[in-house]
Structure 1
Amino acid sequence: MSSEITAKNLAELFYDSAQKFGDQPAFGTKNKEKQFSTISFQDLYETGVSLATGLIAIGLNSKDHVAVLSENRKEWIITNYGIILCGAADVPRGTDVTDGDIQYILSHSDAKMVFVEDELTLRKVKKNISKLQNITHMIVMEGEPGLLNTQLRSHGEDEVDPGSHLYPKVLSLNGLVENGRRLRKLGDRRVEERLLTIQPDDLFTIIYTSGTTGEPKGVMLTHANMISQLRNIPIKIGPKDRFLSILPVWHSFERVFQMGTIAMGATQYYTNVRNIREDLMIVKPTFMASAPRLWESIYQGIQSKIQTGSVIKKVLFRLAYGCALMFQRSIQFLKGNRLDLHGRKIIESITLAMISLTSIIVLYLPYIIFDLIVLSKLRQATGGKLKGSVSGGGSLPYHIDEFFNTISIPVFEGYGMTETSPGLAFRSEKHRVIGSVGQIFPETEILLKDVDTGIVIYPPKKGIKGEIFVRGPQIMKGYYKRPEATAKVLSDDGWLNTGDLGIMSFNNTLKIVGRTKETVVLLNGENVEPVPIENKLIQSPLIDQVMVVGQDQKYLGALILPALETFSEYGSNYEQLATNRNVKEKIEEEVKNLIRTENGFKSFEKIVEIRLLPKTFEVGDELSAKLSVKRHVVSEKYKSLIESMYDGKTQMQKYVNQ
C-alpha cells in the first residue's frame, strides 16, 4: 500500500496515523438508530491508550495473550488498539464459537484475559470457565459490571464475585477505558514505556485456523509480518477512500485492510451479510474486500433482476454486456493482460493485436453509449463508487471475475493464507490479468516443486505446474506450541509449503490450479483438481452448492444441493428435492452438459454419479468462516451417500457407458 511506511511495529503505526490524520473518521459502525457513527484517528488512538493503561493496571503484561470474541464493530478495533499498545498479542475469534472452540483455543493460547462482545457471549465463556484456568478477567464490550452480574443471575447463573480467586473478574470495556483516562490524568505513562520495548519480531496476534483439516492451529504473526504487507500490497488508497468491511474482523485477510486503512488514512465501515445491500447504498464504498461468496451473491442478484425484467431490458443487457466484453478483452490484450499459460507465437500475438485494435475502434462508441444507459446502472448495485474490489480467501469463479471487470468494477484478486499474513500475490490496476492472482509481492521468493518427481523449479519456469513454496518477510513465526506441525510446512531456511498447485503465466502472474490436499486421486492414478469442476457446476441456475468426490475410486461423483427457487414446483425444502426423481434427472443432464470434453474437461473428469443433499452447507459445520468447504467434514457426514455412488452394478455400468 505504501513504501513510505516507516513504523517498526503496529503501535508506532497507530501513533503515526493519529498524528497525520487527526480528526478524520477512521472507523464507523451502526448505532441503535441504524446510523453509522464514526470515531476519528485521534480519538481512536487516545481511547486505545486509555484502554491499554486500564489493562496494564489490572495486570496485563507485555507479550501476554488476550482472547477477543466479537464480530465487526467499533469496539473491536478499540480493543485491538488497547491490546497492541500494551505490547500484548490478541487471539481473535467470532461470537459463533462453540464450547469446544472456547475450551481449546482459550486454553491452548494461554490467554490471560478475554474480551467478549455481549452478555450472551459472556455466558458462553462462563459456562466453560472451569476449564479455563489461565483467565483472570472477562471484559464485556456492551454493558456495565453491576448490570452484567444482574443479567447473569436472571439466567439462573451464579454471580461472578469480583473478589473471588475461583472466578475471573467481570469488567466492562467502558469501565476500563474510564479508569485508564483517570490514571493518565494522574501521570501514568506506562503505555509509553511499553511502546519502547515492542520489537518487530514480537507477536501481535495468534489466529487459529478454521480446522478444515483437523485440530485448529494457532498461527503466530509478528508486527514485522504485518508491516511488510502494508509495504507491498499494490493498492493505492488515501484519506478520501471508504472501505466497507464484511469479512470477519479476526480473519487475516480482513486485518490487512484494517491496518491498511489506518496506515493510509482511509475510513472503514463495518457491516455484515444481513445489512450489506443497505450499507452499500449508504456508504458508497470506493473499495471493499470480501470472500468470493459475496461476489457470487451480488452476481446472482444482478442476473436474477435481469431475468425477471422485460424482453427489451434483457436484449439491451445482452447487447451491452457483449459489447463491453469484446471491448474490455481487446483493451486488456493490448495491455498484455490476457492470461497466457503456454506462450503465444509471434504470429498469433500480431493477429490478436490487430483484431483487438479493430474491435476497439469499431466498438468504442457503442461501448460508451451502452455503458451509460445499461452498465452504469448495474454498478449502482455496489453503491456506484467502487474503484476496486478485492477478492481473497478462496478461488473466485472465472465467469464472475470477468463479469465484474467487464462492467468496470475492477477485481483485484489476491492469493495467500493465514500463515503468510496473508498476502503472497496480488493483482494491480496495471496487471489485472483475469484468471490469475496477480504478481508475486516484492521481497517474496517463490519456487515450484513437481508433485510427481519432487524436482524443484527455481526460479519457476513459465507454464510449468508445481506445488508452491514461498519465502519472505510475511511468513509466520510458526504454529503456537506446535513445533512438529510447524516443521511439516516450514523449513529451517524459511521456505513455507503452501500446499497449493500453481503455474507462473507468461504475463508474470501466478495462477492457482488446485490444492494438493484437495486433489482427488482416482484408482487409475489420475490426479483430478475438484475446484475447477465445482466452479463450472455452480454457474448453473439449477445448482446452489457442490462437492466433487472420488478418492481411490474408478470415477468421480458429486454431492449437489439443488437450487430451491428453481425447483420450487417439486418441493418447498431441500429434503423434498433430494428424493425427487425429476429433480435428480434434470441435474444429471445439466452436469453431463457442463462437464464434458467440449468445455475443456478431460474424459476422466466427467461426473458419473450424483447424489442430492438434504440440507445446505452451513458455516461452522460444513463450511469454514471464510466459506470454504471442509471436505473431511462433508465426507464423514455423508459417508453412506458417497459410498452409494460406488456400490453396485448399476453404477459400474454407467461408468462403462461414459
Structure 2
Amino acid sequence: MIEKIFPDTTFDKTLGKNLPILLREKTKKNPNLTLQAVKNKSGVFVRYSYSQVYQHVLEMAHSLKKLGIKRGEHVGLMSDNRREWLIADYALLTLGAIDVPRGCDSMGVEIRFILNFTECKVSFFENGRQLEKVLEKVEEVPLLKTAVLFDYPDEKLIEKAKSLGIEVVNYHFLESSGVEITKEEWKELEDSMETISPDDTATIIFTSGTTGVPKGVQLTHDNFIAQCEVAHHCLGLMQRGDMWLTVLPIWHSFERAFCYMVVAMEGGFAYSKPIVSVMLSDMALIQPQWMNAVPRLWESVAQGLFREIKKQSGIRQWEFNTAVFIGKQFYKAKELVFGLRCRYHWYPRFLDTLLGILPYIILWIPRFVAEKLVFKKLRAKFGGKMRAAISGGGALQPSTESFFHAIGFKLMEGYGMTETSPVLSVCNSKKPRSNNVGQIFPSNEVKIVKEKNGQPVDSKPLKPGKRGLVMVKGRQVMKGYYKRPDLTAKIIDKDGWLNTGDLGMISCDKELKIVGRAKDTIVLLGGENIEPVVIENAVNASPLVERCVVLGQDQKYIAALICPDQANVIAYAEENSIFYDNYENLLETNEIQNVFRTEIDMRVNAKTGFRTCERIFKFGLLHQSFQLGKEINAKHELMRHSISEIYKKEIKKLFSEKK
C-alpha cells in the first residue's frame, strides 16, 4: 500500500463530474468575478466575468451544434493562447466533442498529420497562416471540410480554401449567431452536460509530431477534474478572485490543466506573452498574484535583471550583488530553522534548527536592509502582488531557484507529464521546500522501484532516499494513446502503473525529487519535448557519420556527439586536398568542422520536417567509434546513461556559454 499525503476526505467533491459542469457551478457561485482579462489594441486589459464567459461558451456551443459538430467528434484546435481558445474548448466539451490542439509554432507536416490521424472534419485555426499550412498539401487531410478562423480571414484565402474543398468560417460570425439561442436550447445544452461521463475523452494531445512516434494522449474529463479536486492543498495561498498571468502555450497540458484549476479555485487569468519585456509590462498593468512558466523564462528574467544592474553605477552593482549574497545565505539559514529542507534520510528536525538559528539571527538585520533597499524594488517589477509562481515543463536550475528565493520571490517547482494530465506534484505554497518538485497530488499513487534500462525490475516500493524509477497510478493517468494500444501497453502495466521514464526518490516527508531520466525523450528548459532517435537517424544518414547521439536534457538547446566514419572522412580530406598530420587533428580542421555542419543542417531543418527546437545547435566529433558493451549494447542500441558518464567533459563543453 502506497502512503498518501492526504486522506480521501480532502477531495473537493463540489466541482461536478466533468469540465462543463465545473464551469457552470463556479459561474453560479461567482457570476461577477473576473475569469478572463484580455489586452485590447490600446493596451488596456478588458475583463470578462464568469457569467460573460459562460454565456459566450453556451452561445458558441449552440453555433457549433448548428455547424454539425456532434458528441464524440474530433475537432482540431490549432492556435496559441488567447480568449477565444478557452471559449472554443469549453464549447466543444459542452457538446461532448473532443478537441485536438496544437500551437502556431507547429509545422505544416505536423498539423496535417494530427488532423488526418484523428480524422478531423472541422478545425479551428488562429489565423490564415495556420490554415495555409494545411492548404500546402490539402490532399493529406482529405476529411477536413470546415476551417474556423479566430482572426478575420483574407478573401483570397477563403477562395483558395473553397477551391480545395474547405469552407472557411469566421469565429466572430459564430459568436454573433450564437446570441440567437433560445431558453429551451440553453436548457437543452445544460441538460446534455449531465450526460457526459467522467470517463469520456475530453482531448487528444500529441506529445510528439511526425518527427517522432505519433503519440496522441487521450485525456478524460476525470483526468482533469481529479487534480482540480486536490489542487488547493498545494496552492493553499490562493484566494478567491486571485489573478493568474498566463504566458505558456495553452495546448500544452501543463498550462491547460492550470486553467481548469484556476476555475476550480475561483480565480481568473490575464493573457500575456512569454517575452520578458511584454510579460513585465503586463504584470504592472494587471498586478497578478500567480503565474506559470517554464524554467527558461525564469532564467531569462533573472539574467535580464542582472543585465539591467550592469548598466548602473559601480555602487549600485555592489549594493545589488551584496544584497543577493546576503539573501541567499539568509534563505539557507531560514530553510534550516523553519524545516524547509528536504530530508532524504530521517533525522530529527531540531538538529537543522540548531544548525541554522545563529546565522539566521546574525543575517536578519542585513536581510532586512537588503529587503528595503533592493528586494522590494525587484519584486515590484512583477506587479507588486505576486504570492507565488510555478515552474514546470523541465528542471529548474538551482542557481535560478536560489536567486528568486534570495530576493523573497516564492518560485515553486511542479512535475508531471502529458500522460498524467499532467500535474503530479507541486511544492506547497505555504511551506515550499527546495530541492524537490513538491508534494504528490493525492489523486495519484507514486512509488519508486528498482529499474534497469528504464524498466522496473520489481514492483516493490523503495524506501525514502533510494533512487529508482518513478511509477504512477491513479485518476490522472491517461486513457491511452489514440489508435496505439501497442504503445499504451509499453507504458502502462496490467495493474495500471504508468512508467514515467523518470528517475527519482521520495523524501521522508513524502515529497518527490527527480534525479534524471531513464527514457530517451529530452525535455528542454523551454518545456519542448524532443525525440532524439529520429534526429539521430537523420544525421546517421550522412556518409560521413557512423553514429550520432543527441543530448540536451534541461538545456536551452540540443547538441550532438558524433562518431565520424573514419574511412569516409579521410577519403573526403584527400579528395579535397585537406592537409593533416593525424586523424585527431583532421577532425579539428575548419574544413571538416564545416562539412559536418553542412551535413547536419542539410538533414535536420524545416524542409525535412524538424522544428526549430529540434535542430542541432552544437556538435562534437569523437576520435573513436562506440564500443560494444561500453557505449552500445548487444542490440547495438545507444547506452545513453553510459555515454553521459563517459563523455562528461565533452558534453559540458557543448553546453558551455563560450563559443
| TM tier relative to shorter chain | 0.7 to 0.9
Counterpart residue identity of residue 133, structure 1? P
Q: Report the secondary structure of 1:174's partner residue.
A: helix
Q: Report the secondary structure of 2:182's partner residue.
A: helix
Q: Report the secondary structure of 1:114's partner residue.
A: strand
Q: Report the secondary structure of 1:432's partner residue.
A: coil
2:79 pairs with 1:81: no
CA distance 1:529–1:59, shift in 2 (3 Å) = closer
Rounded Cα–Cα distance in structure 2 between residues aligned with 1:325 and 1:614: 43
The answer to whether the 8 Å contact 1:448/1:456 transfers is no
Q: State the partner residue of 1:32.
A: 41
Q: State the partner residue of 2:71.
A: 62
Q: State the partner residue of 1:490.
A: 492
Rounded Cα–Cα distance in structure 1 between residues aligned with 2:369 and 2:463: 43
Rounded Cα–Cα distance in structure 2 between residues aligned with 1:86 and 1:352: 55
Counterpart residue identity of residue 318, structure 1? N
**Fraction of identical pairs, as percent:** 33
Rounded Cα–Cα distance in structure 1 between residues aligned with 2:397 and 2:328: 17
Q: Report the secondary structure of 2:229's partner residue.
A: helix
The answer to whether the 8 Å contact 2:563/2:622 transfers is no
Cα offset, 1:178, TM superposition: 2.7
2:355 pairs with 1:355: yes
Rounded Cα–Cα distance in structure 1 between residues aligned with 2:200 and 2:508: 39
2:301 pairs with 1:298: yes
Q: State the partner residue of 1:239.
A: 240
The answer to whether the 8 Å contact 1:149/1:160 transfers is no
CA RMSD of aligned residues (A): 3.7
Which residue among 139, 146, 155 is the counterpart of 1:130? 139
Counterpart residue identity of residue 277, structure 1? L
The answer to whether the 8 Å contact 1:337/1:507 transfers is no
The answer to whether the 8 Å contact 2:421/2:478 transfers is yes
Counterpart residue identity of residue 127, structure 2? D
CA distance 1:442–1:158, shift in 2 (3 Å) = closer
CA distance 1:488–1:509, shift in 2 (3 Å) = same
2:483 pairs with 1:481: yes
2:250 pairs with 1:252: no
The answer to whether the 8 Å contact 1:405/1:411 transfers is yes
Cα offset, 1:64, TM superposition: 0.8
Cα offset, 1:311, TM superposition: 2.2
Aligned counterparts, 1:130-279, within 5 A:
130-143=139-152, 148=153, 150-152=155-157, 158=160, 160=162, 167-184=165-182, 187=185, 189-211=187-209, 214-233=212-231, 234-236=234-236, 237-274=238-275, 275-279=278-282
Cα offset, 1:612, TM superposition: 14
CA distance 1:78–1:351, shift in 2 (3 Å) = closer
Give the gaps of 5 or more residues in structure 2.
1-9, 523-548, 565-587, 627-645, 651-659
Counterpart residue identity of residue 476, structure 2? Q
Rounded Cα–Cα distance in structure 2 between residues aligned with 1:188 and 1:545: 49
Counterpart residue identity of residue 202, structure 1? D
The answer to whether the 8 Å contact 1:206/1:218 transfers is yes
Cα offset, 1:196, TM superposition: 2.4
Q: State the partner residue of 2:332.
A: 329
CA distance 1:472–1:623, shift in 2 (3 Å) = farther
Counterpart residue identity of residue 285, structure 1? P
Give the gaps of 5 or more residues in structure 1.
521-527, 539-543, 553-578, 585-610
Cα offset, 1:477, TM superposition: 0.2
CA distance 1:619–1:371, shift in 2 (3 Å) = farther
Rounded Cα–Cα distance in structure 2 between residues aligned with 1:186 and 1:13: 21
CA distance 1:212–1:503, shift in 2 (3 Å) = farther
Which residue among 463, 468, 479 is the counterpart of 1:461? 463
Per mean C-alpha deviation after superposition, the further-off stretch among 247-256 and 431-440 is: 431-440
Q: State the partner residue of 1:403.
A: 403
The answer to whether the 8 Å contact 1:449/1:467 transfers is yes
Q: State the partner residue of 1:376.
A: 376
Rounded Cα–Cα distance in structure 1 between residues aligned with 2:45 and 2:189: 30
Rounded Cα–Cα distance in structure 2 between residues aligned with 1:436 and 1:644: 35
Rounded Cα–Cα distance in structure 1 between residues aligned with 2:551 and 2:216: 28
Q: State the partner residue of 2:80.
A: 71
2:117 pairs with 1:108: yes
Rounded Cα–Cα distance in structure 1 between residues aligned with 2:460 and 2:51: 47
Rounded Cα–Cα distance in structure 2 between residues aligned with 1:308 and 1:622: 43
2:450 pairs with 1:418: no
Rounded Cα–Cα distance in structure 2 between residues aligned with 1:374 and 1:189: 56
Counterpart residue identity of residue 242, structure 1? M
Cα offset, 1:489, TM superposition: 0.3
- Per-residue Cα deviation, 1:199-234 (whole angstroms, up to 9, x for no partner): 000011111113498233110000000001111222
2:349 pairs with 1:340: no
Q: Report the secondary structure of 2:425's partner residue.
A: strand
2:19 pairs with 1:10: yes
The answer to whether the 8 Å contact 1:63/1:89 transfers is yes
Q: Report the secondary structure of 1:382's partner residue.
A: coil
2:510 pairs with 1:508: yes
CA distance 1:35–1:299, shift in 2 (3 Å) = same
The answer to whether the 8 Å contact 2:227/2:443 transfers is no
Q: State the partner residue of 1:604.
A: none
Rounded Cα–Cα distance in structure 2 between residues aligned with 1:203 and 1:177: 25
Cα offset, 1:72, TM superposition: 1.5
- Per-residue Cα deviation, 1:531-578 (whole angstroms, up to 9, x for no partner): 7xx76xx7xxxxx756474899xxxxxxxxxxxxxxxxxxxxxxxxxx
The answer to whether the 8 Å contact 1:401/1:435 transfers is no
The answer to whether the 8 Å contact 1:518/1:529 transfers is no
Q: Report the secondary structure of 1:247's partner residue.
A: coil
Q: Report the secondary structure of 2:433's partner residue.
A: coil
Cα offset, 1:318, TM superposition: 3.0
Counterpart residue identity of residue 172, structure 2? N
Q: State the partner residue of 1:556.
A: none
Rounded Cα–Cα distance in structure 2 between residues aligned with 1:37 and 1:619: 40
CA distance 1:213–1:122, shift in 2 (3 Å) = closer
Which residue among 44, 50, 53 is the counterpart of 2:59? 50
Q: State the partner residue of 2:449.
A: 449
The answer to whether the 8 Å contact 2:38/2:83 transfers is yes
Q: Report the secondary structure of 1:60's partner residue.
A: coil
Counterpart residue identity of residue 412, structure 1? M
Q: Report the secondary structure of 1:158's partner residue.
A: helix
Counterpart residue identity of residue 167, structure 1? G
Q: Report the secondary structure of 2:515's partner residue.
A: strand
- Per-residue Cα deviation, 1:73-132 (whole angstroms, up to 9, x for no partner): 111111112111111111111122222112210011122310111222233333333322
CA distance 1:96–1:468, shift in 2 (3 Å) = same
- Per-residue Cα deviation, 1:256-284 (whole angstroms, up to 9, x for no partner): 11112222221201111342232122222
CA distance 1:71–1:171, shift in 2 (3 Å) = same
Which residue among 280, 285, 298 is the counterpart of 2:283? 280
CA distance 1:86–1:645, shift in 2 (3 Å) = farther
Counterpart residue identity of residue 150, structure 1? E
Counterpart residue identity of residue 309, structure 1? Q
- Per-residue Cα deviation, 1:506-529 (whole angstroms, up to 9, x for no partner): 343111111112599xxxxxxx99
The answer to whether the 8 Å contact 2:443/2:476 transfers is no
CA distance 1:109–1:212, shift in 2 (3 Å) = closer
Rounded Cα–Cα distance in structure 1 between residues aligned with 2:607 and 2:475: 34
The answer to whether the 8 Å contact 1:2/1:230 transfers is no
Q: Report the secondary structure of 1:425's partner residue.
A: strand
Q: Report the secondary structure of 1:220's partner residue.
A: strand
Q: Report the secondary structure of 2:424's partner residue.
A: strand
Cα offset, 1:646, TM superposition: 4.4
TM-score by length of structure 1 reads 0.77
Aligned counterparts, 1:560-639, within 5 A:
630=614, 634=616
Cα offset, 1:481, TM superposition: 0.6
- Per-residue Cα deviation, 1:297-321 (whole angstroms, up to 9, x for no partner): 0011112223333222222223322
Rounded Cα–Cα distance in structure 2 between residues aligned with 1:479 and 1:269: 32
Which residue among 307, 310, 320 is the counterpart of 1:307? 310
Q: Report the secondary structure of 1:433's partner residue.
A: coil
Rounded Cα–Cα distance in structure 2 between residues aligned with 1:261 and 1:519: 29
The answer to whether the 8 Å contact 1:219/1:418 transfers is yes
Q: Report the secondary structure of 1:272's partner residue.
A: coil
- Per-residue Cα deviation, 1:390-433 (whole angstroms, up to 9, x for no partner): 00000001111121122111122111100001011111034422
Q: State the partner residue of 1:563.
A: none
Per mean C-alpha deviation after superposition, the further-off stretch among 233-242 and 78-87 is: 233-242
